[in-house]
Amino acid sequence: MKLNYYPETDSLYIDLSEKKSVDSKEVSDGVVIDFDETGTIVGIDIDNASKVVNLQKLESDSIPLKSLAITS
């Protein structure tokens, strides 16, 4: 899973899979879910992210991580 924040558009993309998105559905105002060819969710796009999500804090609880990378 990868989190990508784009300040120029104030959008947050949560990349859940390396599979390519072939379909999308807006499930709420400014929230779009991307699907692969089998209908599996591969990503979530959140518009106006700084107004919807607390971008100042990232917290994890009981996730069995094998790797953690923080890049700028």
pLDDT tens for residues 14-48? 999 999 999 999 999 999 999 999 999 999 999 99
Query: What pLDDT shows up at residue 67?
Result: 86
Closest of 21, 16, 12, 11 to residue 1, by C-alpha: 16
Q: Is 51 strand, coil or helix?
A: helix
Q: Residue 70 — very low, low, confident or very high, per pLDDT cuts 50/70/90?
A: confident
Interatomic CA distance for residues 1 and 23, integer angstroms: 19
Interatomic CA distance for residues 32 and 42, integer angstroms: 11
Q: Higher-confidence residue: 52 or 60?
A: 52
Q: Where are the domains of the chain?
A: 2-52
Interatomic CA distance for residues 59 and 37, integer angstroms: 31
